[in-house]
């Protein structure tokens, strides 16, 4: 039923306007066509019956090598026929079953040469998305530039990450987020800003990102200047991927570009709980998904860099996964130089213990100079298919492919080639040194996680990471992890080169606060073995597949408390991003009108101690938890 889907044609100050509302009328999207043929859009949110603008008039347009679609556009028609209400399931993410309900409007235009272009907008109750469509057949076209912009309507704060300068190891989306800077602040360098970008204004929370980037296009970021709070699309940097390919996409027609995504809500929970990014992707290409099994993995590399070259060291981690009841173990770089045995023998040993092996690969190829091995397999179509066939025959469960270092179209194509070849052989995929999630796991559910974050590896490389991790961790659930699974490699109690400032309670909580289809528990074996009974048991049983996710309280840079449900139990994780202790009275009303039997593990007297307790929480009561500075807690409610 069309319901309150709105379509209006009006003339105000010479501008033509067409509007569409979300299924409940919460969000309103409007196209505006000026007298000189410039197409713009704006977005409003309904608050107590009043439409309040959240995205002010913002530019739309693309320049191709053969034609421009920016000015002098002529209106041809409008199509409002698409209303979608469907449900689909995912093996990985914030929730298993996802309702996809939106209204869609398409405006049809021609440029001054009579060449057609369409702009498609989808309007959800938690935001909007738009993309371009070039109709036609046969012609091959090149996009030179895209001028889509996002004008934040009001002043406020931004949590936004500078885009990486190109180096041997970047871009990899591993910069720190700016913590609550003024909206419209210019980026610190010419490379600009990265997605996702979070904004708090007087009337809403807004998250900018993209979805459904495919092998015909580039993954975008944002220009460095944001005058008037207007952020504009920027192509990948020219010198990414060692200049081995162009940053300008080429495709035959018809051609759909990626979705530009604006998640919008009155509350921060609307952003954290949104699934818009995966909803905007095509349905699964895998008929039988039963072999895709998320889980927990041990990982030898964090505490012992040479271990992937040592058969006996890796056997210990296989045995430890079996001891903990974890499903997997990850074998990292340079395993093809293994001594004391080989990778095939290790896989056979792990299979005998019912432990799945995940194996590391270099994505290069000519596009990177990283020497870690094995390399020159994932970049070669023939070698890659042969390798995945072999892995499937051995019973290897997944791969971790690293060091992509570019968002150019050729590299985007490589992601899809890997996912398809892996799926053909029932192998799961985890990308590292990679771009941001774009919702690809709907189309290729064997994509179980991606890095694209400054994670726990940085305790070995970055002297300021320990102090920054305290607040950095509390930004990630609202930004990076809000757009897709995040392989931070968390829960490290022992120290690497630069010691932790977070407490043991904080580290334990990351197993719930951060969502990832494979939870790589990164610490050494002995620190896990020496844990008290309660936190050790928690790590033995913590799920990674969630029926639902709810933000209970939080603010980026300060604190985050998240509840995730698995079957009949709620798992709650909370972290403190400040240098002050805190006593939280946590409202559980969104978890339902129930009495709960609660098991709680929080900070002890010192940063390296735990305190465990059990209690009954009556319906309507709040859960009271005390945490240390940089502290945290977990709870299981049944």
pLDDT digits (tens, 9 = 90+) for 59-100: 999 999 999 999 999 999 999 888 999 999 999 999 999 999
Fold for the domain defined by 559-637: Immunoglobulin-like (2.60.40)
Average pLDDT over residues 96-119: 98
Quick one: CATH architecture of 10-279? Distorted Sandwich (2.70)
Distances (CA, A) of 605 to 100, 353, 526, 629: 46, 39, 22, 12
Domain ranges of the chain: 10-279, 559-637
List b or e across 112-146, with b for residues whose CB sees 16 or more CB atoms inside 10 angstroms.
eeebbbbbbbbbbbbbbbbbbbbeeeeeebebeeb
Contacts of 88 (CB under 8 A, 6+ apart): 97, 98, 100, 283, 284, 442
Beta sheet of 140-146, edge-to-edge order: 68-69, 62-64, 140-146, 250-252
H or E element: which one contains 443?
A: helix 440-443
CB under 8 Å to 128, separation ≥6 — which residues?
Answer: 22, 27, 29, 43, 121, 122, 261, 262, 264
Q: Burial code of 45-65, b = ≥16 C-beta within 10 A, e = fewer?
A: bbeeeebbbbbbbbbbbbebe
Q: Give me the pLDDT at residue 446, please.
A: 98
For the record, the structure tokens of 411 come out as: 């590299």
Asked if residue 39 lies in contact with residue 109, where contact means CB atoms within 8 angstroms, the answer is yes
Q: Provide the b/e sequence for 12-42 (b: ≥16 CB within 10 Å).
A: eeeebbbbbbbbebbbbbbbbbeeebbbbbb
Task: Say which DSSP state 17 is in.
Answer: E
Rounded CA separation 509/630 (Å)? 11
Q: How many CB atoms neighbour CB 594 within 10 A?
A: 13
pLDDT digits (tens, 9 = 90+) for 575-634: 999 999 999 999 999 999 999 999 999 999 999 999 999 999 999 999 999 999 999 999
Rounded-to-integer distance, Cα 401 and Cα 359, Å: 8
Strands, E assignment, 235-318: 250-252, 255-256, 259-265, 295-299
Spell out where 396-484 has E strands: 398-402, 428-431, 447-450
pLDDT at position 1 is 35
pLDDT over threshold 70, residue 314: yes
Q: By the 8 A CB rule, do 62 and 143 touch?
A: yes
**Omega into 276 within 30° of 0, i.e. cis?**
no
pLDDT band at 305 (very low <50, low <70, confident <90, very high): very high
Is the preceding omega at residue 171 within 30 degrees of 0, hence cis?
yes
| pLDDT score for 558 | 98
Structural tokens at position 233: 């699309």
Neighbours of 66 (CB within 10 A): 12
What pLDDT does residue 39 have? 98
Cα–Cα distance measured from residue 220 to residue 233, given in angstroms and rounded to the nearest whole number? 6
Confidence of residue 251 (pLDDT cuts 50, 70, 90): very high
Q: Identify the CA nearest to 508 among candidates 359, 360, 628, 332.
A: 628
Distance CA 200, CA 181 (A): 10
State how far the Cα of 340 lies from the Cα of 245, in Å rounded to an integer: 41
Q: Which residue has the tokens 């009974």?
A: 533
> How many helices (H) and strands (E) in the chain?
11, 37
pLDDT > 70: percent of the chain: 98
pLDDT over threshold 50, residue 11: no
Model confidence at 10, pLDDT cuts 50, 70, 90, reads very low
Which pLDDT value is given to residue 15?
57
**Global confidence as pTM:** 0.97
d(CA 524, CA 592): 38
Mean pLDDT score of the chain, rounded to an integer?
A: 96
Collapsed DSSP state (helix, strand, coil) of residue 269: helix
Q: What is the pLDDT of residues 327-357, one digit of tens each?
A: 999 999 999 999 999 999 999 999 999 999 9
Going by DSSP bridges, is the β-strand pair 518-521/548-555 parallel, antiparallel, or unpaired? Answer: unpaired
pLDDT tens per residue, range 433-479: 999 999 999 999 999 999 999 999 999 999 999 999 999 999 999 99
Q: What DSSP designation does 568 have?
A: T
Q: How far apart are CA 183 and CA 430, in angstroms?
A: 33
Tell me the C-alpha distance between 432 and 361, whole Å. 10
Coil, strand, or helix at residue 316?
A: helix
pLDDT number for residue 2: 40
Crossing angle, helix 504-513 and helix 533-541, to 10 degrees? 20
Q: CA-to-CA distance for 593 and 62, rounded, in angstroms?
A: 51
Which pair of structure tokens corresponds to residue 169? Answer: 């190891």
């Amino acid at each position: 039923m069309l319901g309150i889907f709105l379509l209006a044609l009006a003339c105000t100050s010479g501008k033509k306007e067409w509007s569409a509302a979300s299924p409940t009328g919460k969000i309103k999207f409007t196209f505006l066509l000026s007298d000189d043929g410039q197409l713009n859009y704006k977005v409003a949110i309904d608050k107590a019956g009043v439409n309040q603008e959240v995205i002010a008039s913002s530019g739309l347009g693309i320049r191709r090598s053969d034609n421009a679609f920016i000015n002098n556009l002529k209106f041809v028609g409008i199509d409002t026929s698409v209303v979608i209400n469907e449900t689909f399931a995912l093996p990985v993410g914030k929730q298993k079953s996802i309702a996809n309900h939106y209204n869609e409007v398409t405006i049809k235009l021609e440029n001054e040469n009579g060449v057609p272009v369409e702009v498609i907008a989808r309007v959800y109750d938690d935001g909007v998305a738009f993309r371009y469509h070039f109709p036609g057949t046969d012609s091959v076209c090149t996009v030179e530039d895209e001028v889509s912009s996002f004008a934040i309507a009001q002043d406020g704060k931004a949590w936004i990450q500078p885009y990486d300068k190109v180096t041997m190891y970047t871009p990899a989306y591993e910069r720190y987020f700016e913590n609550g800077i003024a909206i419209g602040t210019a980026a610190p360098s010419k490379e600009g800003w990265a997605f996702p970008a979070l904004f708090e204004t007087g009337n809403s929370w807004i998250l900018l990102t993209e979805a459904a980037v495919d092998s015909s296009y580039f993954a975008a970021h944002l220009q460095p200047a944001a005058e008037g709070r207007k952020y504009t699309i920027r192509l990948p940097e020219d010198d990414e991927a060692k200049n081995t390919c162009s940053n300008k996409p080429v495709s035959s027609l018809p051609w759909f570009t990626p979705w530009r995504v604006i998640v919008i809500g009155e509350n921060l929970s609307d952003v954290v709980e949104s699934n818009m990014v995966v909803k905007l992707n095509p349905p699964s290409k895998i008929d039988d998904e039963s072999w895709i099994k998320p889980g927990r993995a041990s990982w030898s590399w964090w505490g012992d860099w040479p271990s992937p070259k040592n058969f006996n060291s890796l056997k210990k981690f296989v045995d430890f996964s079996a001891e903990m009841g974890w499903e997997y173990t990850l074998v990292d770089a340079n395993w093809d130089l293994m001594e004391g045995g080989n990778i095939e023998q290790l896989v056979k040993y792990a299979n005998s213990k019912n432990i799945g092996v995940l194996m590391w690969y270099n994505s290069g190829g000519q596009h990177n100079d990283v020497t870690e091995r094995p390399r020159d397999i994932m970049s070669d179509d023939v070698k890659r298919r042969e390798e995945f066939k072999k892995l499937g025959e051995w019973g290897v469960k997944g791969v971790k492919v690293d060091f992509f270092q570019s968002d150019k179209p050729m590299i985007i194509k490589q992601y899809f080639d890997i996912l398809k070849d892996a799926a053909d052989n029932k192998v799961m995929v985890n990308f590292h040194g990679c771009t941001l999630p774009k919702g690809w796991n709907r189309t290729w559910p064997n994509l179980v996680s991606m890095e694209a974050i400054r994670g726990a590896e940085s305790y070995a490389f970055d002297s300021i990471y320990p102090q920054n991790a305290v607040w950095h961790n509390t930004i990630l659930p609202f930004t990076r992890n809000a757009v897709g699974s995040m392989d931070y490699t968390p829960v490290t109690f022992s120290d690497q080169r630069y010691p932790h400032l977070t407490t043991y309670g904080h580290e334990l909580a990351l197993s719930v606060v951060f969502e990832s289809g494979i939870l790589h528990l990164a610490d050494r074996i002995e620190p896990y073995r020496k844990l008290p009974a309660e936190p050790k048991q928690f790590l033995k049983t913590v799920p990674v597949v969630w029926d639902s996710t709810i933000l209970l309280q939080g603010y980026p840079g300060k604190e985050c408390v998240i509840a995730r449900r698995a079957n009949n139990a709620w798992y709650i994780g909370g972290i403190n991003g400040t240098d002050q202790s805190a006593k939280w009275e946590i409202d559980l009303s969104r978890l339902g009108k129930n009495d709960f039997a609660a098991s709680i593990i929080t900070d002890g007297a010192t940063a390296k101690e735990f305190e465990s307790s059990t209690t009954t929480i009556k319906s309507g009561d709040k859960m009271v938890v005390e945490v240390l500075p940089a502290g945290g807690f977990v709870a299981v409610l049944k």
